[in-house]
Chain A
Amino acid sequence: MTTSPTIQDRVDAALPPSGDPLGLIGADGHQRETALLHLPPDQVLRELHRRMVIGRRLDTQATALTRQGRLAVYPSSRGQEACQVGAVLALREQDWLFPTYRDTIAVLTRAVPPAEALSLLRGEWHCGYDPHQYRVAPQCTPLATSTLHAVGLARAAQLKHTGEVALVLAGDGATSEGDMHEALNFAGVWQAPVVFLVQNNGYAISVPLAKQTAAPALAYRGVGVGVRSLLIDGNDAAAVFAAVRDAVGHAAAGRGPTLIEALTYRVEAHTNADDAARYRSDEEVRAWLARDPIRRLETYLRDRGLLDDAGLAAIGAQAEQLAAEVREAMAGPPDQDPAELFAHVYAEPTAALAAQRDFLLAEIAAEGDTP
């Protein structure tokens, strides 16, 4: 005879296992013991490392492009590669990724071509890729609004029995938005197959976590609405991969949503036009650089004989090659036809819109008449 779960039962089910973040590979590159996460296989670890190296190189390249006037803005995720890569590699092909504007590396890791992925930041189109083709939702500036979209998409998958899981990324600042709370609540009520990954990098532009919330940890935002939660070391790619993989499996099995808080750090400023020195100290940055996600995994792989200099060099070459592709993609003229501004307001342009389009095209043609 089973009794219905008590409140305490439900709290225990949703709470993160402990106040310490879970991890598999420490900052020193040594493996940590934990029963709650499973170390990924060697081939996955190597792939995590390779993709992080590439991701960092592309991040640096994008920052450089803003300094050369080729991108309008680039919110860097340098230092957050473990989340960017670890979470995406944990997805299956049928799953959906809902990225924020800082998750370009995740979008690129999901194999969206650079020209398409960077179209938004270039100022070319609001979204340069077909979401259905890559199962990646468009990036945009509003925060936390995508959490609701992810829950809705997951709910539809549930109703249609098609099995895909939605992974939605959010930052620490986004967790203050009402939409985030509503999304967690809906996900809980529906037991929707959605995974929330909160990359807590300590700052929302310049506002530190202490001013953002009094929550004991962002992972505790789940227990209040009955959503199972985890707190992990966000600079540990193996832990990120394992936690997301586990959560995806949980959701795919119909056992509901998961909220994962991953502790990490935003090494660069908010964007290329931000001055981070105004709100944080060099020591803090240096302390986090010592916990770099790539270096620790490299150390681990070398210690285990899974990576050597030649391998590293090869990865570096690949990264350079991809960086060159990105530069190439951004070097040409933008692919824009002003007439298209009117083409997708509705499924079919109205007569009034067509008239406005013709008006603009005439204006443009008149400009061309001047010597």
Chain B
Amino acid sequence: MTGTLEEVPAQAGPTQIDTERTVVHAPGIRSALGVRSAQDEPVTMVGALNAALADALAADPRVLVFGEDVGTLGGVFRVTDGLAARFGEDRVFDTPLAEAGIVGTAIGMAMNGLVPVVEMQFDAFAYPAFEQITSHLAKLRNRTRGQLSLPVVVRIPYGGGIGGVEHHSDASEAYYVHTPGLRVVTPGSPADAYHLLRQSIECADPVIFLEPKLRYWSKEPVPAEPGPAIDRAVIRRPGRDVTLIAYGALVGTAVAAAAAAADEGWDVEVVDLRSLSPFDDATVAGSVRRTGRALVVHEAAGFAGYGAEVAARLTEQCFHYLEAPILRVTGFDIPYPPPLLERQHLPGVDRILDAIARLQWQDLA
């Protein structure tokens, strides 16, 4: 199996284009189908990710995309749709069913100068690769005093809300953010999905790229200009009264909660973290110092979850500005429930509003 890493020209595409499956792409980002579309046309998050992969493959001959079912099938969520056909099987290919093998060989390829972008098909399926990720991917730069650089991206669809049976709805970000040497990022929207994935692929550090599958089908236009840097949080909705911190799938929920909160008289500022590790202290602490009240929301279990780190950090940095304790709104400390009960488990707008109500408003003069 020989292959070349030169860019496959756009004309050498498939002879049949499936027009039923519309993957629409914004200007300045090229789709796997090589199609430019009109400005401002909304794109799904899947489409944005697809475009990001295609553009990255086109821009850098060292980029590879591989994993289970990502080649011919185009991925179980179609995120890699059309890429193998366009770029060839030496650059976009299916692997044996072996997650440790996928990440381990990606490490070896990165040692030899390539830029692998691998997929773990679902969050929980990354566990077999956990040793490779935590013992080696995170540590080889440090182990070799900076001589080895591993610009690997591990894409992981994560989180619940899609009615999946067991093992398909995990949110395991806490394990990865607790591992020094990894970057962990998660987009909340299609625009962020495109730009964060491009940035992750271009980043010299290994990145765990958590894709909120609940939002795979959300749509918005993707601007051509790159968004904020890979390590920055963004204020999605400015507000005066309380800082609502969210990431991934729950950014959308947080924005909805903020809108509902306005009816109850609270002006809520929504912060989309984007980068779970490293953490953007400046943006988040700056917000909490302004509002004096903070709430972290995530679907993963609360105990020793990501929100605990955020609450501890903000308490240290903003103590004298606080009007209330920093609250966390999270999933329960239970294994992820069966699909018919998941709605009871996941934080929604109501649970967030109830938490906002507990932020000691009665103390205002």
Q: A and B: direct contact (Cβ < 8 Å)? A: yes
Residues of B near A126 (CB, < 8 A) are 139, 142-144
Taking Cβ atoms with an 8 Å cutoff, the residues of B that contact A are 1-3, 5, 64, 90, 95-96, 98, 100-101, 103-114, 116, 128, 131-132, 135-136, 139-149, 180-181, 183, 203-205, 231, 278-279, 281
* Given A132-B147, A182-B101, CB of A152 within 8 Å of CB of B281: no
Contact of B108 with A179 in the complex, beta carbons under 8 Å: no
In whole angstroms, how far apart are the Cα atoms of A151 and B181 in the complex? 23
Instruction: Report the separation of the CA atoms of residues A133 and B148 in the bound assembly, to the nearest whole angstrom.
Output: 11
Q: Are A152 and B104 in contact (CB under 8 A)?
A: yes
Q: Are B146 and A149 in contact (CB under 8 A)?
A: no
Q: How many Å lie between the Cα of A186 and that of B142 in the bound state? A: 27
Name the residue of chain B whose CB is nearest to the CB of A351.
Answer: B281
CB–CB A159/B98 < 8 A:
no
What per-residue 1/0 map shows which CB atoms of A183-224 lie under 8 Å from chain B?
101100111000000000000000000000000000000000
A-B contact pairs, 7 of them (CB 8 A): A126-B143, A148-B107, A148-B108, A149-B104, A179-B101, A182-B101, A346-B183
The answer on a CB contact under 8 Å between A151 and B105 is yes
Chain A 154-192, CB within 8 Å of chain B: the 1/0 string? 111111110000100000000000110011011001110
B111–A131 touching, CB < 8 Å: yes
6 extra interchain contacts, Cβ-Cβ under 8 A, other than A159-B3, A160-B5?
Answer: A138-B143, A145-B131, A152-B109, A152-B112, A186-B96, A186-B98
The answer, yes or no, to whether A253 is at the interface (CB within 8 Å) is: no
A267 at the interface (CB under 8 A from B): no
Does A350 sit within 8 A of B, measured CB to CB?
A: yes
Identify the A interface with B (CB < 8 A): 125-127, 130-133, 137-138, 140, 142, 145, 147-161, 166, 178-179, 182-183, 185-186, 189-191, 340, 343-347, 350-352
Interface centre among B104, B106, B113, B148 (most CB of A within 10 A): B104
- Given A156-B113, A160-B113, A347-B205, the answer on whether A127 and B108 have CB atoms closer than 8 Å is no
Assess whether A156 is in contact with B278, with CB atoms less than 8 Å apart.
no
Whether A189 and B145, one on each chain, are in contact in the complex, defined by CB atoms closer than 8 angstroms, is: no
Which chain B residues border A191 with CB–CB below 8 Å? Answer: 1
Most chain B beta carbons < 10 A, residue from A130, A161, A182: A182
Pick from B2, B100, B108: contact of A154, CB under 8 Å: B108
A352 touches B3 (CB 8 A): no
| Closest chain A CB from B283 CB (angstroms) | 12
Question: What's the minimum C-beta distance from A289 to chain B, rounded to whole angstroms?
Answer: 36
Answer whether A179 and B145 are a contact pair too, CB < 8 Å, given A152-B106, A152-B112. no
Q: State how many angstroms separate the Cβ of B320 from the closest Cβ of chain A.
A: 20
In Å, the complex CA distance between A153 and B104 comes to 10
- Complex interface: chain B residues within 8 A of A185 (CB): 96, 98, 101
Cβ A131 vs Cβ B147 within 8 A:
yes
Q: Is the CB of B144 within 8 A of A127?
A: yes
Closest chain A CB from B127 CB (angstroms): 12
A340 surroundings in chain B (CB, below 8 A) = 145
Cβ contact within 8 Å between A182 and B98? yes
The residue on B at minimum CB distance from A340 is B145
Contact B111 A182 (CB under 8 A): no
Contact A345:B145 (CB < 8 A) given known A142-B135, A182-B101: no
CB of A155 within 8 A of CB of B108, answer yes
CA distance A153 to B360 in the complex (A): 57
Question: A156 and B142 in contact (CB under 8 A), knowing A345-B180, A346-B181?
Answer: no
Most buried by A among B105, B106, B279: B105
Cβ–Cβ < 8 Å partners of B109 in chain A: 152-153, 155-156
- Would you call B141 and A125 a contact (CB within 8 A)? no
Q: A352 CB to closest chain B CB, in angstroms?
A: 6
Q: Are A138 and B140 in contact (CB under 8 A)?
A: yes
Given the complex of chains A and B, what is the CA–CA distance between A340 and B143 in angstroms?
A: 11
Distance (Å) between the CB of A137 and the closest chain B CB?
7
Q: Which of A130, A156, A351 neighbours the largest number of chain B CB atoms within 10 Å of its CB?
A: A156
Per the bound structure, the CA–CA distance linking A126 and B138 in Å amounts to 14
Residue of B at shortest CB range from A141?
B135
Q: Is the CB of A152 within 8 A of B105?
A: yes
Q: How far is the CA of A148 from the CA of B143 in the complex (A)?
A: 18
- From known contacts A151-B105, A182-B98, A185-B98, infer whether A157 and B112 are also in contact, taking CB-CB under 8 Å: yes
Q: Which of B90, B112, B281 is the one whose CB lies under 8 Å from A153?
A: B112
Q: Which residue of B lies closest to A148 (CB)?
A: B104
Task: Say yes or no: A127-B104 contact (C-beta < 8 A), given A156-B114, A352-B279.
Answer: no
User: Do A153 and B108 contact each other (CB < 8 Å), given the known contacts A127-B144, A347-B149?
Assistant: yes
Which residues from B are CB-within-8-Å of A131?
111, 144, 147-148
Residues of B within 8 A of A138 (CB): 140, 143-144, 148
Q: Please, which residues of chain A bring their CB within 8 A of the CB of B183?
A: 346
Ranked nearest first, the 8 interchain pairs of A and B with the lowest CB-CB distance are A152-B108, A148-B104, A152-B105, A182-B101, A156-B112, A347-B204, A153-B108, A149-B108
Q: Is the CB of A189 within 8 A of B90?
A: no
A186 touches B111 (CB 8 A): no
Judging by beta carbons under 8 Å apart, are A347 and B96 in contact? no
B95 touches A152 (CB 8 A): no
Please state if A148 and B101 are interface contacts (CB–CB under 8 Å).
Answer: yes
Residues in A with CB closer than 8 Å to B204 are: 346-347
